Amino acid sequence: MARARAGETLAANLRTLREARSLSLSEVARRSGIAKGTLSQLESGTGNPTIETVFSLSNALQVPVSTLLDERPNAGVVLVRAADREVLSSNAVDLRMLRRLDVTSSVIEVYEQRVRPGETQHSDGHPGFEHVIVTTGTLQVGPAGSPHELGPGDYVSFPAQSPHTYRAVSGPVTSVLLLEYPADTTPLPTGHPCN
């Protein structure tokens, strides 16, 4: 039931954003590099999006990822259950978006992130900053040419515009990922955090 609601949220948000911009499915497919049939499935709530798919749509529509995945919460207490949030996966990383925070000059997306051993997640770059806090395991993360090794409790922040990587050093890694976008800047049409 929870996963169905997540798919319905993506479907509704994708359709609303596309129609608000007067874009056809074909145009969104061209901009995102995603097949038109896949987009049609996502809009109908029957698709199974990957990290790459959602970040490609984010860049194609020039909105933060949370604009596609999140429902606007009511004021007051916000409780997010892990079981109510869909997991986006790639070859090396599983992301579960927990919350979008609209701060005066920034949009901040909060994710639970799991990095599987034996694979490296590469990103070509995207607008904003990445903030990573490791909770379990050892993670190598940061700019592609000079990543940092983090253990439990360690934190790193880096500009996300340049290529960067994530790699579990030994065993699985659990971490918190914060994506920070300037409120007046939208993601670029090419590159995304988990490309």
User: Model confidence over 112-161: pLDDT tens digits?
Assistant: 999 999 889 998 888 889 999 999 999 999 999 899 999 999 999 999 88
Residue 77 domain-assigned?
Answer: no
Strands 173-182 and 129-136: antiparallel
Q: Is the pLDDT of residue 6 over 70?
A: no
Domain containing residue 133: CATH number: 2.60.120.10
Helix H or strand E segment including 142: strand 139-143
Q: Are residues 95 and 140 in the same domain?
A: yes
Residue 14 host element (H or E) = helix 2-20
pLDDT over 80 (residue 104): no
Reply yes or no on whether the pLDDT at 194 is more than 60: no
Residues 96 and 8 in one domain: no
Instruction: Classify residue 160: in a domain, yes or no.
Output: yes
Please, which pLDDT band fits residue 4 given cuts at 50, 70 and 90? very low
**What is the value of pTM for the model shown?**
0.69
Distance CA 62, CA 9 (A): 18
Tokens of 38: 């896949």
